[in-house]
Amino acid sequence: MKFSPLCVTSLWIVPSLTGARILGTGNGQEEAHPEGRVCRNGAPLTWSPATQAVLSNMGYAEDILQALELYADGFTIGSTQELIVEAQDAAVSGATVRDGQAGDTDFPFGDIKPIVTMGERSVCSESMGQTVVGKPDGMGAYLLNERTVRVIYQSESYGPLEANEARAYPVNNGEAMIGGSHIAGIDYDREKLSRFMNNNGPASNMVVGFDSMIEKAYNLRGEPLGPRMEGNTTVGAHLSNTDANGQWAVEALPRIEYDWFYQSLCSAHMEEAYQWGPGIGLKDDLFITNEEWHAFDNVTNFVGNSKSLYAAGVFSLGGFEKLAEINPQSPDHVMFGVSGYNGDYSGYHPALLARQEEYGLRPDGNEYVWCNNIVPYRMYVGVKGLMEDGSRAPDDDFLARNGLRYGQVYGFAIDMTEDGPTQGMWRDEFHSNATFAYNGAKVEGKWVAQPWKWDGEVRNFEHDGSWDFQLPVPGMKDYKWWNSAGYDEGGAKTEHLSPDVRPGKTGFIQGSTAGYFGHLYVLDVEDVLKGVSGKELPKSFDGEYYVYQGELDVTKQIELGGKFRYTDDADGNRRDATRNWDSTDEDGKVTFEDIDGLEVVYTPTGMHAVLQEDSGNRLGERCLISSELEHEDDGKELTYYMVAMSGGAENTRMMAGVGIPAGSNKEAGSHEFSGVFDLSGLLRKSRGSFALGANEKGYRKREEDAKVELNDKYIMINVQAANFEHGALKHFGADTGGQIMIYKPRLP
Ligand SMILES: *[C@@H]1O[C@H](CO)[C@@H](O)[C@H](O)[C@H]1NC(C)=O
Ligand SMILES: *[C@@H]1O[C@H](CO)[C@@H](O)[C@H](O)[C@H]1NC(C)=O
Ligand SMILES: *[C@@H]1O[C@H](CO)[C@@H](O)[C@H](O)[C@H]1NC(C)=O
C-alpha cells in the first residue's frame, strides 16, 4: 500500500507513500520486498589503538568511547532485549540493578517485548550507520507489501529548544536540511513479527529496513522548503519557524547545521484510505502529525505551528495534541477529531497585543486574553476536491483530494444556563464533581461551526481561528463553547483522542490532562451531510457527550495483579500504583493525573482504552488498560489494569543510573508512555495465511482488528525516557531515549 505523511500547520501530514513520497525504501506494492531482504551487521565496527588515542582528545571523549564500544558490540536496530519499563520497583522485587539491564519484567496483565530502542544504529543498506532518534511519540503501521510490516513513528524532538539536538536530515533533494523531530519507518518481516511474542529472540532478527519517511516537505503556502536566508526568507521558509514575512521568530537558533526544524511532533495517527467503507474517508493513506507548542522570541510576531511534509491550515494554527479521522458517513466529506492546547506559545505577547489592537474588545466587552486552553472539544468537516475558495481542485492536489483545503472546524457548545446539562459548570469543574461526572453521565450539546475558516492566505497569528472560543456561539443564545475553564482563563488541556470505529458511529473518545475522559458523538451525520451539496457546510450538528471517568477517586478501580509496588516512604509506609505520585510530599493522588496517550482497541465484543499518564510521576509513570468500555448509566465504574510502569525521579533503578542503553542515564527523572497502535489486523491469520492483503483499503484493516480477541492482540506501545540523554543518545544524534514495544494482554 502507499503512504504519505501530512502535517497540519500546527498539523503536518505525511501522505503515505503517495505522490509526495515521503518515503523510504520502496514505494508500496510496485517493489515487492525482495526475497530474504535483511539488515545484517556485516562489517563490525572496529578501531585501532591509534584511532582511539586521537579520539580521546575530543570533548566528552569518555562518553563517546563508551558509546562506540556499545556500537562495536552490536546495538543494531531491534537488538536490545532489556526493557526500560518494569512491573514494580527494584527495591521491592529484588531485581538486579545494573546499567543497561531490565528490572522486574514479570507483568501480571500481559507480556511485553521491545521492537526498537532509541540510539540503536541501522545496519540496513539504505541507512547504514544512522541512529534511531527519540523520544518516540506518535506511531502507526501498515503493510508495505504482503511480507513486510512498516512501523512508522515520529520522534518528539525540540531542535535548539532543549539540551540535545537530533541529527539533521535532507528534504527536497537536499534543498533544505531539517532538524528537530523526525519521522522514520522501520520494516519488519511480517511472518516473524506475527510470532514475535511466542519466542525469546530479539527484534533485530526480523528488521528488514529503516529509513526517514520525509523526502519532500512543503510549507503552509505550498512551497517546497528551501534554504534559510539572511534576513527574511520570502520563499520556502518553514513558516512555523518564522513570521508571515519569513523572518525567524523562534527564541533560539539551530546549534548544528540545518535550515528549519520541526518542533515537538506530538502524537500522530495513521489513517489508511477509505477506512470507513468503500469510498468513505480519505482518498490517500496518510500519517497525520502535529507540532504541539513553540517558544517564540518575545519581540517578533509569528504565524503559528505548521506541518511538515504537507502543511495544512484548515485546522487553525494554535498547535495540536492529536488529530484522528472519524467516520464521515459520506463519500464527499472527511471528518477529524481535533485536540490540543490552542496556543502554547511562549513569547506570545506580540501576537496578543496585535489581536487586541486590531480587533478591539470582545463582544462581551472584555479584552481578548491569550487563547491557550480556551477551547472546547473540536472536530473538523472537510469537502473533498475543493480549493480554499470553494472552486474545483486539480485531481492531483493532495490536500484538496483529501478534504484538507476546504472545510470548517466545529466546537462543542452546550446550554450554560442553570437549566443546562451541567447547571452552568465548565468542563473541568463538571468532571471533578461526583454528583455529575459518574460513568454514564450525559451532556447534550451542539457541534457549531466556528466563525473562522481557512482561506489559504498565510497571516500572522492575531488573525487565527484560535481566538474564536472567546466569542459568542453563532446563532445560539444560551449556549457557550464548553471550554475547560471558561472564556477568560485556560483550564486543562484536551489530550489524545481516539476514533470510534464501530460501524455507523461518528465520534471519538477524548482524554484530558485533568485525568477525565469520555465519548463524544456527532449525531445524524449521514442525513445532515446528505442535506448539503457542493461547498455548502452545515452550520451545526447535534452532539452528545458521555463520561467514562470523572476526575474522581479511582484507587478502588485499579488492579495491580500482585505487582506495581513502589518504594516505601521514609516512614516505612507502603506505596503502590493505585495512586499517582507526581508529588511524594503527601499520600499521592487518588485521581488519574495528566492522561496523555489514549487509544482504543477493538475486539469482537467491544472496546478497551489504553491510558498513558504523563504526570511527572516520581515513583514510576503508569500505563493501564481499561475493562470493556461502556457508558450505561448503571452505577458501575470501569476497571483499569496496570500494564507497566516506567522511570521516576525516586525510582530505584533510575536513581542508580540505570539507562537503556547503558551510559545514557546520569540523573533520575520521570518517563512518559506516549503512543498506542493495534497491529493485530495486519497480523491476523485465517486458515494458515494472513487475512489482510497489502492492497486492501483501510476499512478491511479495521475489520480484521476487530476480529482479534483482546488477549490475542499485539498492541504496540511506546515509552519516552527523557532522562536518557547522555552517551550514545547525546553524541550520535539520537536526542533522547525510549523504546517501542509490543504488549500482548492477559486480562482476566
Ligand atoms: C522582513 O520582515 C520583517 C518582520 O516581518 C518586516 O518588518 C520587514 O519589512 C521585512 N523586510 C523586508 C526587506 O521585506
Ligand atoms: C514579553 O513581553 C511582554 C509585553 O511586552 C512582557 O509583559 C513580558 O514580561 C515579556 N516576557 C518575557 C519572557 O520577556
Ligand atoms: C457538586 O455540584 C453540586 C451542585 O451544583 C454542588 O452542590 C456541590 O457542592 C458540588 N460538589 C463539589 C465537590 O464541588
> Could you tell me the distance, in angstroms and rounded to a whole number, from the CA of residue 237 to the centre of ligand 1?
14
The answer to whether the CB of 354 is under 6 A from ligand 1 is no
The answer to whether the CB of 247 is under 6 A from ligand 1 is yes
The answer to whether the CB of 259 is under 6 A from ligand 1 is no
Q: Are 108 and 87 in contact (CB under 8 A)?
A: yes
Which of 416, 425, 433 for mutating ligand 3's site (highest number of atoms within 8 Å of CB)? 433
State mean pLDDT over 45-66. Answer: 92
From its phi and psi, is residue 363 left (phi > 0), alpha (psi between -120 and 50) or beta?
alpha
Nearest alpha carbon, ligand 2 atom 3: 349
Q: In a 3-state reduction of DSSP, which class is residue 282? A: coil
State mean pLDDT over 20-27. Answer: 26
Burial of residue 44, with CB atoms counted within 10 A of its CB: 0-12 exposed, 13-18 middle, 19 or more buried? exposed
Output the pLDDT for position 10. 38
> Could you tell me the distance, in angstroms and rounded to a whole number, from the CA of residue 357 to the centre of ligand 1?
20
| Per-residue pLDDT tens over the stretch 69-92 | 999 999 999 999 999 999 999 999
| Per-residue pLDDT tens over the stretch 579-591 | 999 999 999 999 9
* Ligand 1 nearest-atom number relative to CA 231: 1
State mean pLDDT over 7-22. Answer: 37
Q: Looking at the CA of 233, name the nearest ligand.
A: 1
Nearest alpha carbon, ligand 1 atom 11: 232
* For residue 21, pLDDT beyond 50: no
Q: Are 739 and 114 in contact (CB under 8 A)?
A: yes
From its phi and psi, is residue 539 left (phi > 0), alpha (psi between -120 and 50) or beta?
alpha
| Per-residue pLDDT tens over the stretch 288-337 | 888 877 777 666 556 654 333 788 899 999 999 899 999 999 999 999 99
Output the pLDDT for position 299. 61
Q: How many angstroms separate the first and last alpha carbons of the chain?
A: 37
State mean pLDDT over 704-729. Answer: 97
* For residue 11, pLDDT beyond 50: no
Which H or E run contains 442? strand 442-449
* Ligand 1 nearest-atom number relative to CA 246: 2
Q: Looking at the CA of 420, name the nearest ligand.
A: 3
Nearest alpha carbon, ligand 3 atom 3: 435
Output the pLDDT for position 4. 38
> Could you tell me the distance, in angstroms and rounded to a whole number, from the CA of residue 347 to the centre of ligand 2?
7
pLDDT band at 285 (very low <50, low <70, confident <90, very high): confident
> Could you tell me the distance, in angstroms and rounded to a whole number, from the CA of residue 443 to the centre of ligand 3?
17
Nearest alpha carbon, ligand 3 atom 5: 423
> Could you tell me the distance, in angstroms and rounded to a whole number, from the CA of residue 59 to the centre of ligand 3?
60
Output the pLDDT for position 302. 63
> Could you tell me the distance, in angstroms and rounded to a whole number, from the CA of residue 472 to the centre of ligand 3?
26
Q: Are 579 and 555 in contact (CB under 8 A)?
A: yes
In the structure, which protein residues have their CB atom closer than 6 angstroms to any atom of ligand 3? 423, 433, 435
The answer to whether the CB of 245 is under 6 A from ligand 1 is yes
Nearest alpha carbon, ligand 3 atom 10: 433
Nearest alpha carbon, ligand 1 atom 7: 245
Output the pLDDT for position 46. 87
Beta bridge partners of 559: 641
| Per-residue pLDDT tens over the stretch 677-689 | 999 999 999 999 9
CA–CA distances in Å: residue 344 to residues 320, 341, 488, 661: 9, 6, 16, 32
Burial of residue 391, with CB atoms counted within 10 A of its CB: 0-12 exposed, 13-18 middle, 19 or more buried? exposed
Nearest to 363 by CA among 471, 500, 447, 256: 471
In 345-432, DSSP assigns E strands to 345-346, 378-383, 407-415
| Per-residue pLDDT tens over the stretch 648-685 | 999 999 999 999 999 999 999 999 999 999 999 999 99
Nearest alpha carbon, ligand 3 atom 1: 433
| Per-residue pLDDT tens over the stretch 195-237 | 999 999 999 999 999 999 888 899 999 999 999 999 999 999 9
Higher-confidence position of 40 and 354: 354
pLDDT band at 13 (very low <50, low <70, confident <90, very high): low
